[in-house]
Amino acid sequence: MGMIITEIPVFLLIAGKGKIQLLISLAVFSAILLTMIAVRKKYNMPFRPDIRYPIADAVICGGLALLFFRRWGFSLRMQPVADLLNLPIKQCTIAFAFLLALLSLPGIDLVITTVRRLLPSSVNEKPRSDKRLLIFCLLVLSFLLMFINSKCSPLYSFQDGNDQNTMFTVGKGVLKGYVPYRDLYEQKGPLLIFIHTFGAACSYYGFWGIWLLEILACFCFLYLSCKIAGLFVGSKAIPFIPLLAAAVYAAPAFGMGDSAEEFSLPMIAYALYAGIKALKNDDFLSRKEFFLIGLTSGTVFWIKYSMVGFYFGWIAVFLIYAAFKRKITDLLRGILLIAAGITVITIPILLYFLLNSALTDLFRAYFYNNLVYYPAYRNWSYLKKLSFSLRSYRNNAFIPMILSILGWLYTLIKKQWKTAVFLVITFLPAYHFVYVSGNYHFYYCFIFCIYSTIGICFLPDLVSLLPGAAEALQHNIYKVLIPFMFIGITVLCFMSKILPSMEIPREELFPFRMKEVIEKSGIDSPNILHFRILDMGVNTAAGLIPKMKYFCYYNNDHLEETLEQQLQCLEEKCVDFVIEQSTSPYTYRTIDTYEHQGVIPGWQGEELCFFHYFTPK
């Protein structure tokens, strides 16, 4: 009876929708179940559920969960369950799929152990590499996290973030010979633009290439999180990494995915790991580690330089450490290696802009304009800025913030004084640099999730309080990791803020409705101006590249040249379509040289907006 109960979730995952499919599934399932019972009786195999092959269990259960979602995610039969949970059908279905996958792990394992018992003994067992198992598990976890919670994933019809589409348009322009900042304006770092160039090279009309890079960035962060937590509790931290992943990537600060903070997270996580390891070992970093610090810090600098405050604190810690240990020479040698790493990443970037006669444009757009024109709330006192930024941090990354505080308290409880000081000294300049400009976009605080890693070290200690739990956890790491992985994914499905947008068909999204308008116009390669708004995705959907530098409007009202060029363009009728955003279908700006042709409703997050489009008179 226990075996039958164990296999019920498996049957629910594979059962078909129609009566005939259900009967066929039931017949096949019953035959397999009876065969398993006969085989296990013959060989005196136990009927109790276990997880002996966690990797195979995870792959099969994950695949069945995705199959379940594809089968039921578009079925109205899930409506009663969705109504009960007050969730959209698709979000409810994918959460339910991974919950069933979690419950199916023992049942799938019973099937695998039965099949393997029938195989020749030579292939029954193979030596296991724990590191390879960990890498594989984290890759699967990263894939599922980004598949579910990033709008760049194929699960979503379109990545409709305006920042993301603006960067993608500029990145796409690089493929066609346009030079960022000179020909197409952007205010984010050149490396972030080149990341989107890679994405456009993989998929010109979508974000699949970016999605692959997101999986890689997520994997690197989770792997480094294992290493960081492992410095305190060893391999006992591994099973709890999925819970950390769910807390970090379900935070509102993650947004729709594809942000500068997301790609910088593993870079800064490496510096955190290397710093803590050196302090715990009471030694300096190796030459290789110093060089990698330079390489990763240079990468962060050219992605978004406001996040390099962490490295100022990092250098300050080791400057103090070197002074106490009288190892100034070693520190200077390390700084030279850091400088070498920064140079390796910097020289190709500068050469690219130098050879394209755009070095001045790079420095003016990326440095001067951001430093001089971008800061908002200039007249606020520092205390008011601090209060507002703390509120933004709390609202957009509450659970990671709590984990970060717990992690710092953990270092104090364990009397890891040097690590506790290191965390404070690196956090303060990082926080100051991120928020000093006076802007408080929701995604700014995502970079602070690196500090949440140490917070999970409490969990193994709490579990070890249970009788025999510490030894069981130490010897069954992957048996615990796999269920926790599905628990983390299920939690993410319920907490995700973007999953409900799966309900919107591609045909109803503004970029594709505007694409239809453009195609009906018969204009070949039309030029589009986003007047006073960011790129809303029309250029991506239609595969277009703008022919003017300020093709959209940026979050920088003080940069007057943007509006001046856009107004001049309207006066000269240099574009074929003008797009403007409004909160009303009846209200729009009158443009003397352009005629209003229509309005298309569209969603911006949870807000319904109206996009008016114009053509020359």
> What confidence tens digit (pLDDT) does each residue in 268-300 have?
999 999 999 999 998 889 999 999 999 999 999
The 10 Å Cβ neighbour count of residue 326 is 8
Among 14-23, 183-192, 223-232, 318-327, the minimum mean pLDDT is found in 14-23
464 has pLDDT over 90? no
Question: What value does the mean pLDDT take over residues 507-530?
Answer: 91
**Mean pLDDT score of the chain, rounded to an integer?**
89
* Res 376: pLDDT: 65
Rounded Cα distance, 602 and 384, in Å: 35
122 has pLDDT over 50? no
Closest Cα partner for 545 from 177, 188, 152, 161?
A: 177
**pLDDT interval class at 4 (50, 70, 90):** confident
**pLDDT interval class at 503 (50, 70, 90):** confident
Q: What percent of the chain has pLDDT over 90?
A: 57
Type of residue found at 515:
K
**pLDDT interval class at 405 (50, 70, 90):** very high
403 has pLDDT over 70? yes
Question: What value does the mean pLDDT take over residues 465-481?
Answer: 73
CATH code for the domain defined by 506-616: 3.40.190
16 has pLDDT over 80? no
Cβ distance 247 to 446 under 8 Å? no
* Res 32: pLDDT: 80
Question: What value does the mean pLDDT take over residues 481-502?
Answer: 90
Cβ distance 460 to 473 under 8 Å? yes
Q: Of 32 and 203, which is predicted with more confidence?
A: 203
Residues of the chain with CATH 3.40.190: 506-616
329 has pLDDT over 60? yes
Q: In Å, how far are 168, 181, 316 from 358, measured between CA atoms?
A: 20, 8, 35
* Res 123: pLDDT: 47
Question: What value does the mean pLDDT take over residues 592-597?
Answer: 93
606 has pLDDT over 70? no
Q: Give the tokens for residue 94.
A: 């994918």
Q: In Å, how far are 199, 256, 326, 349, 558 from 170, measured between CA atoms?
A: 11, 19, 49, 16, 22
Confidence (pTM): 0.92
Residue count of the chain, please give it: 617
